[in-house]
C-alpha cells in the first residue's frame, strides 16, 4: 500500500502525530485496512503529508503501543492481528451513522428468478438441474478460433459502445433462422438482443406494468415472471394448465395488460399448447387487450411430432416472442433476443440503452460468425440427437424405478421432463432429500424456479437430462431405483 486517505487539520487540533494515528486507527477498525496490509514507509508518508519523519515515527509508535500495527526489520510496518480488547468499531468522520430515508421513498422486497439454487449440503455426483446444457456439446474449439480472429481485427469493436438493439449481423442471422425453422417472419429492425430471457421480461414489465395493471401467467409457472409482477405491485392472475397446455376456458373476462405463456414446452410441466387452444388464446387476447409474451425457452428441441406454429407466427402484432441461446449454447453467454411488434421496437431499444447501453460486442460478434461459418442449425441437430438418446435413457430408468405408478410429462420436447409421483407414498421433497443423501440431486418445483399449484402436496419432480451423459444417467437411475425401493419398504 503506497498511500492512505489521511487529511490533517492545521487549526486548533491535536498534534499531527495523534491525528495521523487516530485516522489510521479508524481505517483499521472500520475494515478499510486489513490484517497484514503494509503501511506506507516513513519517508513516503512524510512526503505525502508534508510533515517531518519524526512526526510519522511518533504516529507509528502510538499505533504499535496500541497493538494495532507491528514493525518488521527491513520490511516495514504492517497491520497487526486483531485483538479482543473491547475496542469499539470506529467509523470514519465522513460516514453518517444514521441513514436518511425519504418518507416518500417506496420500498419493496424483490425476489430473484429462482434459477440460482443454493449449493447442496452434501457432495453431488448426479445433478438433474433444469436448463443446464451439455458441457461437452458447447462448440468450444470454434468459439476460441472465432474469438481470436475477432480480437485480432477488433478495430473499434472494443472501444465503442455497441448499438443497444444489438449487432445488425446477429439480428439478421436470427431473423433468417426464425423464418426457416419456425415460420416467424421478423424484420431485423424489430429484433432486440438482450442478456437472456430474464432481461427481456424485465424490459417488458418496466414498460407495461404498475400497481394498476394485471397480468395472466400459467400455474404452475415460471417464478421469474411472477416475481416481476410482485416487484411492480401488479396483480397476477394464475391460470391452470393441463395435458393440452394453458386452460384457455379459465382466462379472465376482463382487461389485462400481459399474458405470459410457454406454449412449446410449458414450464415446468412440459405440456405443449394445442393448436385450438392457441387460437382461443389469441382470440381472448384480442378481446381483453392483452399483449402475449411467448417464451420459447427450449423449443429448439423436439423429439416427437413437429411442434405447432409459434403464436408469433400466427398473429405477429399480438405477440412478443422471446428466444435464448442459454439452452442451445450455454447460459454463461448471457445472450437472448426478443422479437417485438413494430410499434414497440423503438421504445424497447430506448429502455435497453437506459439499462446497460447494449449487450457485449464480442459475444454477439462471435455468435454472428458462428451462424455464418459453422451452421447453427447443424449444431442444433447434433444436440437433438444427443438429447434424444439421453431422454430415452432417463425414461427407461424412471420405468424401472416406479413402474407404471407415476406420470411423465414434457418428454416430447425441451431438455427436461416432469414426473408426477404416485399419490400413495413419499412426496417430492422426501424423495429428493433421500436421493441427495446418495449424491443424487432432484428438483421439486419449489427448487426449480416454480411452485406447485397445490403447495400442500408436492408431487412433481423435474429431471433435467441434458447435462448428464447416458452412462451417468444409467448409474443415477440405478441408484434411484434402490432408493425408491427402500422408501417403499419404509
pLDDT interval class at 96 (50, 70, 90):
low
List CB contacts of 57: < 8 A, sequence separation 6 or more. 42
36 vs 77: CA distance, rounded Å: 9
Q: In the predicted model, is pLDDT for residue 105 greater than 90?
A: no
Higher pLDDT, 350 or 451: 350
CATH number for the region 1-97 comes to 1.10.10.10
Please name the residues in contact with 24: beta carbons below 8 A apart, sequence gap of 6 or more: 4, 6, 33, 39, 59, 63, 68, 69
pLDDT of amino acid 86? 47
- DSSP character string of 387-455: HHHHHHHHHHHHHHHHTTSSEEESTTBSSEEEEEPPSSS--HHHHHHHHHTTTEE-EEGGGTT---SST
Per-residue pLDDT of 261-286, as tens digits, reads 999 999 999 999 999 999 999 999 99
Give yes or no for residue 84 having a pLDDT over 60. no
Region 138-375: CATH code:
3.40.640.10
Residue in 344, 356, 298 with CA at minimum distance from that of residue 317 = 344
- Please tell me the predicted confidence (pLDDT) of residue 33: 86
pLDDT-derived band at 107 (thresholds 50, 70, 90) equals: low
pLDDT in tens, 352-366: 999 999 999 999 999
**What CA–CA distances, in Å, run from 7 to 21, 78, 96, 428?**
12, 21, 18, 62
Q: What is the pLDDT of residue 122?
A: 86
> Is 126-133+379-488 the same fold as 1-97?
no
Residue 157 has pLDDT above 90, yes or no: no
pLDDT classification of 344: cutoffs 50, 70, 90: very high
Residue 89 predicted with pLDDT over 50: no
Q: Does pLDDT of 197 surpass 90?
A: yes
For residue 299, the model assigns a pLDDT of 93
Q: Is the pLDDT of residue 340 over 50?
A: yes
CA 435 to chain CA centroid, nearest Å = 26
CA nearest 202: which of 363, 355, 357?
355
Whether 7 shows a pLDDT value over 90: the answer reads no
Mean pLDDT of 242-267: 96
Please report the pLDDT score of residue 108 as a whole number: 57
Tens-digit pLDDT profile for residues 423-481: 888 999 999 999 999 999 999 999 998 887 666 779 999 999 999 999 999 999 999 99
- Name the more confident of 3 and 161: 161
Looking at residue 450, its pLDDT comes to 87
In this prediction, residues 130-141 reach a mean pLDDT of 90
Backbone angles phi, psi at 398, to 5 degrees: -65, -40
- Class in CATH terms, 126-133+379-488: alpha beta
Q: pLDDT higher for 107 or 404?
A: 404
Helix (H) or strand (E) holding 217: strand 214-219
For residue 253, the model assigns a pLDDT of 94
367, 326 in Cβ contact below 8 A? no
Lowest mean pLDDT among 114-118, 298-302, 377-381: 114-118
* DSSP SS3 for 479: helix
Mean pLDDT throughout 98-127? 73
Q: What is the mean pLDDT of the chain?
A: 90
The pLDDT score that the predictor gives to residue 347 is 96
Q: What percent of the chain has pLDDT over 70?
A: 93
What pLDDT was estimated at residue 97?
53
What integer pLDDT is reported at residue 103 of this predicted model?
57
Q: 77 near 62, Cβ under 8 Å?
A: no
Interatomic CA distance for residues 222 and 363, integer angstroms: 27
Q: Region 378-394: what's the mean pLDDT?
A: 95
For residue 233, what is its C-alpha cell?
405491485
For the chain, the residue count is 490
What sign does the dihedral 364-137-384-330 (CA atoms) show? negative
The full set of domain ranges for the chain reads: 1-97, 126-133+379-488, 138-375
Amino acid at each position: 500500500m503506497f498511500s492512505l486517505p489521511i487529511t490533517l487539520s492545521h487549526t486548533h487540533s491535536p498534534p499531527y502525530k495523534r491525528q495521523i494515528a487516530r485516522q489510521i486507527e479508524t481505517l483499521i477498525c472500520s475494515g478499510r485496512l486489513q490484517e497484514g496490509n503494509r503501511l506506507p514507509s516513513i519517508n513516503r508518508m512524510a512526503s505525502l503529508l508534508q510533515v517531518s519523519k519524526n512526526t510519522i515515527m511518533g504516529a507509528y509508535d502510538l499505533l504499535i503501543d496500541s497493538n494495532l500495527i507491528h514493525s518488521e526489520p527491513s520490511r516495514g510496518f504492517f497491520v497487526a492481528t486483531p485483538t479482543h480488547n473491547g475496542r469499539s468499531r470506529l467509523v470514519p468522520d465522513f460516514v453518517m451513522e444514521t441513514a436518511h430515508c425519504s418518507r416518500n421513498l417506496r420500498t419493496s422486497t424483490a425476489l430473484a428468478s429462482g434459477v440460482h439454487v443454493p449449493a447442496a449440503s452434501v457432495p453431488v455426483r448426479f445433478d438433474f438441474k433444469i436448463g443446464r446444457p451439455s458441457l461437452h456439446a458447447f462448440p468450444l474449439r470454434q468459439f476460441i478460433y472465432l474469438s481470436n480472429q475477432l480480437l485480432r481485427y477488433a478495430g473499434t469493436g472494443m472501444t465503442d459502445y455497441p448499438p443497444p438493439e444489438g449487432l445488425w449481423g446477429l439480428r439478421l442471422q436470427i431473423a433468417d433462422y426464425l423464418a426457416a425453422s419456425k415460420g416467424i417472419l421478423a424484420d431485423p429492425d424489430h429484433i432486440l438482443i438482450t442478456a437472456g430471457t430474464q432481461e427481456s421480461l424485465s424490459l417488458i414489465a418496466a414498460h407495461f406494468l404498475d400497481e394498476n395493471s394485471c397480468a395472466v401467467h400459467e400455474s404452475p409457472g415460471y417464478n421469474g415472471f411472477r416475481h416481476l409482477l410482485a416487484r411492480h405491485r401488479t396483480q397476477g392472475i394464475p391460470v391452470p394448465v393441463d395435458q393440452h397446455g394453458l386452460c384457455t376456458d379459465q382466462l379472465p373476462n376482463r382487461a389485462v395488460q400481459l399474458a405470459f405463456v410457454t406454449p412449446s414446452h410449458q414450464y415446468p410441466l412440459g405440456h405443449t399448447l394445442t393448436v385450438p387452444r392457441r387460437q382461443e388464446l389469441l382470440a381472448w387476447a384480442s378481446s381483453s387487450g392483452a399483449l402475449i409474451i411467448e417464451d420459447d425457452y427450449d423449443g429448439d428441441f423436439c423429439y416427437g411430432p413437429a411442434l405447432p406454429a409459434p403464436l408469433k407466427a400466427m398473429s405477429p402484432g399480438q405477440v412478443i416472442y422471446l428466444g435464448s441461446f442459454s439452452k442451445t449454447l450455454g447460459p454463461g453467454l448471457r445472450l437472448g433476443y426478443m422479437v417485438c411488434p413494430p410499434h414497440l421496437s423503438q421504445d424497447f431499444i430506448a429502455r435497453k440503452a437506459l439499462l446497460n447501453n447494449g449487450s457485449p460486442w464480442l459475444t454477439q460478434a462471435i455468435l454472428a460468425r458462428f451462424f455464418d461459418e459453422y451452421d447453427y442449425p447443424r449444431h442444433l441437430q447434433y444436440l437433438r440427437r444427443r438429447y434424444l438418446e439421453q431422454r430415452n435413457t432417463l425414461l427407461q430408468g424412471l420405468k424401472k424405478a416406479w413402474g407404471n405408478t407415476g406420470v411423465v410429462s414434457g418428454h416430447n420436447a425441451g431438455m427436461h421432463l416432469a414426473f408426477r409421483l404416485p399419490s400413495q407414498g413419499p412426496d417430492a421433497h422426501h424423495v429428493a432429500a433421500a436421493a441427495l443423501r446418495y449424491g443424487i440431486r432432484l428438483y421439486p418445483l419449489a427448487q426449480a424456479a416454480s411452485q406447485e399449484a397445490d403447495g400442500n402436496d408436492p408431487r412433481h419432480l423435474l429431471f433435467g437430462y441434458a447435462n448428464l451423459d447416458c452412462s451417468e444417467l444409467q448409474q443415477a437411475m440405478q441408484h434411484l431405483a434402490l432408493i425408491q425401493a427402500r422408501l417403499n419398504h419404509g
